[in-house]
Structure 1
Amino acid sequence: MNIESFIEHEKTKGELYNFCKFNRLPTGILLLGPEGCGNFKLGIKFIKKLLKIDILAHPDIHFLFPLPNLPKQKSNYFYNKWHNFLVNQPYGSLLDWKKTIHYENKDCKISLEQVEEALKMINLKSYELSHKVVIFWMLEHLNINAGNKLLNVLDSPPKRVLFLFIGENEKLILPTLKSRLLIINLKLISNKMIEKYLIRKFNLSQTKAQNIVSVSECNLNTIFKILNNNKNYLNINFIFWMRMLFNLKNKIDSLLRWGSKINSWNRDKNKSFLLFSLEIFRIAHRYKYDKNYINPFFDYKNFNWKQFCRYINTKKVSRINHLISDVIKGIDRYYFFLFHFLDLSFNINKILFNTQNL
């Protein structure tokens, strides 16, 4: 999927672009909004517009982002990782970043050393751009000492230097720091706007677009992951699941082993798989009443699509959709996903194949 094509906050983008047009830049701007609202992506586009460049890997642009507490010579290793993250996951969360650098269980902060390095950069003569830019990603994870250092600079800012801050949790940002910034609050993009965009841009059915929005709760980070999932991989797992459920009495051990594998997936992967399963049941129901409708996902010769659809009817699909939707919506709350997935499997087995007791 082309990241550049994703929807944005057009009104706010216009306001930011006016800063460039009328040369009325404040010293510091904070784009504040919840995960998945697109504030980081919006900031990136604003900087590109301001500096009239296409890429942000430039000596006049400096990024600061949370890092584990490591010696300086080791922290340099993360900068290549960061630029890949910047390109591939502009809607990514802090957890996504920590997974990228394999520090999921470590505390990460923007350190005093990072801030001091950025301040050295802005005191040098500009390489070629109209402004020097310092971008802080996840401002709420700024070390207190680093924050105090930054306050002094914002009180007497150098000329032609812009500080751009990206943050999610206003309560965790130093009040003294916020008071010196122009704060632009962003909300999640509305569900109706995302639905229309998904239908138009990705040729999705209205039902699938609504399911994606419902599961993601309008979080662009989650939507991006769902749309980029490998459909072939999802096909294989769905077929494997249905085959076990068809003969579950003899395959309970296999279901338990496979369920443990599913349990090891991350939450986004679990959501994508169950959302895909919802879509397959919807397609099977449509095929039941329209034999000319072709399943856009399955092309496996060893899976009998027509035979599978014989077990489908309106009442069954309605009950299955309700069960799967409940599990999807509860994934973020479940501590032990395996139990709920197994319960879902037993219920679908009973609904589809009319088994009473195993």
Structure 2
Amino acid sequence: MLFSQVVGQSELKKKLHDSVTNGRVAHAQMLVGSVGSGSLPLALAFAQYLACKHRAETDSCGKCDSCVRYAKLEHPDLQLIFPKNNKSTPKLPSKNFLTEWRKAVLANPYLNLNDWLKEVGIDNMQGIIHVGDSREVLQNLSYKAYEADYRVVLIWLAEHMNTAAANKLLKILEEPPERTVFLLVAESTENMLQTILSRVQMHRLGRLSEAEIATALSAESDELDQIEKFAHLADGDLNLAKHLIEDQTSITNSINFFIRWMRACYGVQMDTIQGLCEEFNSLGREQQKALLTQSSAILRKVLMYRTLPDMEGKLLKEELDFVHKFSRFIAVENSAKMLEALNDANYHIERNANARITFTDLSFKLSDLVLSEAMK
């Protein structure tokens, strides 16, 4: 992956390649941002730049042996760690899933956890980085580097390390072997051990602009109106925009679920809420979290519809009529509390809370908040 292939993030790109030029590469760094903002592609581009034998001022050469191997994610001085799951005991480390992970990332370096888990057929399970991965890291770093100036350990979605895995890496994160760089990629630091965070140099990625996403999508579609609409709907997430270009089914399913849910909450239709609860419970944990995240995005659009007159042209036809009608019951005060309730539910699902109880409790809260505005 070249820096030039990473969409946006120009300031952070410069900061990273300047650190190499100036000989001030931190041994442990964390890139924090949504997967759709390009945290993984940027980490891969930086790792390739570290290994490139003929670096240009701002990018890898893309032609040397190291770059060719990095382009295939097969460089011997690159160790890849990522969330996965399986029913065997002990849990298998990341190296047992490398072929599938390389294939998935090379097809779409902006993929999210749910995309990856679907690729290996375990989207009904939570992805976890186990202590076995940490043991593999320690073992590999006990050997000498193969050929590159730097060895890189890239941990994708590091917030999914369990406590045992994180604790086992603490010492080597603080004092790694010479010319070894840890690159941790995370969407959030909220669930990570403070002892991990204190040992890394933090880089935060901003969301991509609509213009940046539209430019990236123009390589995949020549329908300008569609590109502009999807760039807006993606809300800074290039991965979501790519999915919309390929197939709108997932987002239209989320929209239809949210519409049925909000109508049931408004009408206090307990039978319908119970049915939706079973639908929600049948999903895998990552799918449940994705649905709650998408619900928050739709709710924000409902609020924006009340204040921005040009919003109508940026809505999908599946949501336009609903957003128009539902906006009467959404104001700044109750929408903020509704978003907070959705975020809290996502937090509890992340920690293996009972999905039925979480969804039912959330439905009661949302019903009260919608009705409180309707009765004014």
Instruction: Calculate the TM-score normalised by the size of structure 1.
Output: 0.61
- Paired position in structure 2 for 1:155: 174
Structure 1 residues 265-280: aligned runs within 5 Å = none
**CA distance in structure 1 between the partners assigned to 2:20 and 2:189 by the alignment:** 26
2:78 to 36, 61, 68: 61
Cα distance, 1:202 vs structure 2? 5.6
Q: Is the 8 A contact 1:27 1:162 kept in 2?
A: yes
Q: Is the 8 A contact 2:82 2:157 kept in 1?
A: yes
**CA distance in structure 1 between the partners assigned to 2:201 and 2:96 by the alignment:** 33
- Paired position in structure 2 for 1:36: 36
Q: Is the 8 A contact 2:37 2:206 kept in 1?
A: yes
- Paired position in structure 1 for 2:129: 110
**CA distance in structure 2 between the partners assigned to 1:153 and 1:203 by the alignment:** 46
Question: Is the aligned partner of 1:95 residue 2:95?
Answer: no
* 1:294-336 deviation line (CA, Å, top 9, x unaligned): xxxxxxxxxxxxxxxxxxxxxxxx99x7743438989xx9xxx
Q: Which amino acid aligns with 2:232?
A: S
- Paired position in structure 1 for 2:320: 326
Cα distance, 1:120 vs structure 2? 1.1
Cα distance, 1:197 vs structure 2? 5.2
**CA distance in structure 2 between the partners assigned to 1:36 and 1:327 by the alignment:** 28
Question: Is the aligned partner of 1:24 residue 2:38?
Answer: no
**CA distance in structure 2 between the partners assigned to 1:214 and 1:328 by the alignment:** 18
Cα distance, 1:19 vs structure 2? 1.6
**CA distance in structure 2 between the partners assigned to 1:211 and 1:227 by the alignment:** 10
Structure 1 unaligned spans of 5+ = 231-263, 272-317, 334-358
* 1:71-91 deviation line (CA, Å, top 9, x unaligned): 469555412111111211210
**CA distance in structure 2 between the partners assigned to 1:322 and 1:108 by the alignment:** 31
**CA distance in structure 1 between the partners assigned to 2:322 and 2:84 by the alignment:** 32
Corresponding residue SS for 1:149 = helix
Q: Which amino acid aligns with 2:20?
A: C
- Paired position in structure 2 for 1:348: none
Q: Percent identity?
A: 24
Cα distance, 1:103 vs structure 2? 0.6
Structure 2 unaligned spans of 5+ = 53-65, 249-282, 295-311, 327-341, 343-376
1:214 to 232, 247, 266: 232
Cα distance, 1:39 vs structure 2? 0.6
**CA distance in structure 2 between the partners assigned to 1:108 and 1:328 by the alignment:** 34
Q: Is the 8 A contact 2:100 2:119 kept in 1?
A: yes
**CA distance in structure 2 between the partners assigned to 1:80 and 1:72 by the alignment:** 20
1:139 to 155, 158, 167: 158
Change (3 A) 1:214 1:116: same
- Paired position in structure 1 for 2:48: 48
Cα distance, 1:171 vs structure 2? 0.6
1:167 to 174, 186, 199: 186
Q: Which amino acid aligns with 2:100?
A: K
Question: Is the aligned partner of 1:80 residue 2:99?
Answer: yes
Corresponding residue SS for 1:36 = helix
Instruction: Calculate the TM-score normalised by the size of structure 2.
Output: 0.58
Change (3 A) 1:82 1:51: same
**CA distance in structure 2 between the partners assigned to 1:196 and 1:113 by the alignment:** 41
Q: Is the 8 A contact 2:221 2:227 kept in 1?
A: no
Q: Which amino acid aligns with 1:91?
A: Y
**CA distance in structure 1 between the partners assigned to 2:316 and 2:97 by the alignment:** 44
Q: Which amino acid aligns with 2:17?
A: Y
**CA distance in structure 1 between the partners assigned to 2:322 and 2:172 by the alignment:** 47
**CA distance in structure 1 between the partners assigned to 2:215 and 2:112 by the alignment:** 25
Change (3 A) 1:328 1:79: farther
Q: Is the 8 A contact 2:27 2:181 kept in 1?
A: yes
- Paired position in structure 1 for 2:349: none
**CA distance in structure 2 between the partners assigned to 1:112 and 1:176 by the alignment:** 16
**CA distance in structure 1 between the partners assigned to 2:160 and 2:246 by the alignment:** 29
**CA distance in structure 2 between the partners assigned to 1:173 and 1:71 by the alignment:** 25
Q: Is the 8 A contact 2:6 2:42 kept in 1?
A: no
Q: Is the 8 A contact 2:91 2:132 kept in 1?
A: no
Change (3 A) 1:100 1:158: same
**CA distance in structure 1 between the partners assigned to 2:171 and 2:188 by the alignment:** 23
Change (3 A) 1:195 1:88: closer
- Paired position in structure 1 for 2:196: 177
Corresponding residue SS for 1:166 = strand
- Paired position in structure 2 for 1:189: 208
**CA distance in structure 2 between the partners assigned to 1:85 and 1:328 by the alignment:** 36
Corresponding residue SS for 1:24 = coil
Q: Is the 8 A contact 2:30 2:186 kept in 1?
A: yes
Change (3 A) 1:328 1:67: farther
- Paired position in structure 1 for 2:57: none
- Paired position in structure 2 for 1:356: none
